[in-house]
Structure 1
């Protein structure tokens, strides 16, 4: 007689498992990610914004063909990924894109990428200790980066001096900006808290709301309607068409001399964009637009503020940001500081308190005049009688 033998399931192999989503261009990959995916990309010195987008996509692992931290400057992306619990492997090499297919289930263990039993790439697992060590080393390279930045600043000023000094080339918008506060929103990590913190200011002052790229989507998600949207032609992080149609003005940044075809894709959506020929970044263009149109105050939501964040962006646009901040500096306030400066408008309870204080002051002043003394003498017997009757009634209620 044969007895049935129940087979035991094979033990799960160690490591992190998930379907691979791959693209050499990080911006093209971000929009295709789903929770549980393994993001395979080629991104030297990953910045914080990209890392936050990967965390928001809820990926389980990131495999980078290039080093996460090259040592040129202390970029913030790897630290954010590690703190969020995402497995990070870098230096996997460009051949990882030839050995993997989109959607293939992969397993990552100890910096080694497997497909089934086959090893397709070997890299380095980036732990918190690795990040700390390499970030310390990278901070020593800031001097060289600042020297390069100085050169880029000179070149940008040469190209855009008419824009920076005289406001030439900035389009005229239909939105009335002159004399009004302007809130410029960039969708970066922490924008929700910053926008929530200035809610009383937005409700009471009714500023012009400017969304930069997907910052327009952020405004809509927070329950606001963007007045102006500033975006770059051909960018991957464009707001939705529905959001663009809600805005009164859509300003599109294009390179100088670009043909009309650069904005035709928006015109096909029944949107009439305004061309802005400049090499400035979208958020800097938004700040310059608000300043040139004589905004009374500019509040920045999601703008980069610290030196480390500033250098983390790793692009020629650093010069644009630096010179723009010098241009609009007297009018620019960071959203994180605004709640400490703005206490809100006058409310009914404030008026009631002032009224009561005024009545008390008037009564005190009248009481020391002859007429006031006469009123007091006439009211004293009545008050005394009322007090005596009240005391008698209270004693009658006592056992």
Structure 2
């Protein structure tokens, strides 16, 4: 069915930084989200072996469907078999077993029919999940309100933000299309570009260099960290910053900002506290499914941050779906005109063309006068 070397990782987003094309991804990822699936597809993996439920049915997820539509088989194994796999060693997926390092590991093939069954179940569970999510959000909002009531202590930055537009990019669903939709805006306004973790890679992939990188540094590539941007590491409220070790290992310098909430929240607050004129968010997580896919059971800090920023915030997530301008055929006359222009220019400057038109003009005059 499939044969290749294993790329093993409990964290899909960390594995995607290292996995090579045509490898077989061995992961432990319950409810594979859209971004995880998109990353596996972009990495051109041959197959996915998952030691967790690919889709639990607790809430709707489209990641497994994306993988199936891309022709990537998904094999589910029992959790205890995950430890059997070694990175870089050959994996052979046969009809009923996975062969690896002398082990015959049973698996279940995740199918489109299975996704459809679980998607119906997820729809039935949606109401109860939403109720739990709202309760959790309100519970933590009461605990975290002081975080947004008081100004965030932002260190002195070399990136000038005051009075400028700021675009905060998160590597969320649809981020590529939304960045393309904002191309003219970015060219015209030259906003400050802030990449949140993998959002820095998203900017680089689209031809931009982030001015500032904010995050806990768990899903950003070394190439992005080394691109010359200013780096702000999101630390825990007690000051612990696991991401700073990675920065130092690359010989880079960074400042830390201890705070609760998500790195997206911190990036938005940094722009706000530094008096940005307008803050445009792109690819950010804004609804229940977004946060459940991130393993968060509420969105207290995000809700509070957005309330604080208010009218300064423009959410551009999904802007690429807003309007697709149709071709106006009455404007297509410019195409042949554009093609005629270089020919006319050549006729004016090339001696051969000039001689040809001189002979033709003499012939026309001769015919008229005769």
Same fold, TM-score > 0.5, yes or no: yes
1:258 aligned onto 2:242: no
1:197 to 148, 172, 181: 181
Matches within 5 A, 1:91-170: 92-110=77-95, 112-115=97-100, 120-170=104-154
**What whole-Å deviation, never above 9, does each CA across 1:238-261 have from its counterpart, x for those lacking one?**
3436645622x3211111222578
In 2, the alpha carbon distance for the partners of 1:112 and 1:285 equals: 46
Q: Does 1:297 align with 2:283?
A: no
Counterpart of 1:229 (choices 213, 216, 224) is: 213
Q: Deviations over 1:211-230 (max 9, x none)?
A: 11122233233332211110
**Matches of 2:92 and 2:242 in 1, distance apart?**
44
Equivalent pairs counted in the alignment come to 328
- Quick one: structure 1 residues 259 and 303, their matched pair in 2 at CA, closer, same or farther if it must change by over 3 Å? closer
Tell me, yes or no, if the aligned pair for 1:241 and 1:269 is still in contact at 8 Å. Answer: no
What are the superposed Cα offsets for residues 115-146 of structure 1, whole Å, 9 maximum, x if unpaired?
49x76222221111211111111121122222
Alpha carbons of structure 1 residues 102 and 333: separation in structure 2 relative to 1, 3 Å:
closer
- Decide which of 2, 5, 8 is 1:22's aligned counterpart: 8
Counterpart of 2:24 in structure 1 is: 38
Indicate conservation of the 8 Å contact 1:244/1:250, yes or no: no
Decide which structure has the larger Cα Rg and report it: 1
Q: Secondary structure at the match of 2:79?
A: coil
TM-superposition CA deviations, 1:72-115 (whole Å, max 9, x none): 1112221111111110112x112323444333323224453234
2:316 aligned residue: 334
Q: Distance in 1 between matches of 2:82 and 2:58?
A: 25
Q: Does the 8 Å CA contact 1:281/1:317 hold for their aligned counterparts?
A: no
Task: Verify the 8 A CA contact 1:73 1:312 in the aligned structure 2.
Answer: no
Name the Cα RMSD after superposition.
3.1
Distance 1:333 1:101, change over 3 A: closer
> Among residues 40, 46, 55, which one is paired with 1:60 in the alignment?
46
Instruction: Give the CA deviation at 1:204.
Output: 0.9
SS at match of 1:246: coil
Distance, in Å, in 2 between the alignment partners of 1:51 and 1:261 is 26
Report the TM-score, using the length of structure 1 for normalisation: 0.72
CA distance in 2, matches of 1:143, 1:314: 18
Return the TM-score normalized by structure 2.
0.77
Report the 3-state secondary structure (helix = DSSP H, G, I; strand = E; otherwise coil) of the residue aligned with 1:95.
Answer: helix
- What is the match of residue 67 of structure 2? 81
Q: Quote the offset at 1:62 in angstroms.
A: 0.9
From the superposition, tell whether residues 55 and 256 of structure 1 become closer, same or farther in structure 2 (CA, over 3 Å): same
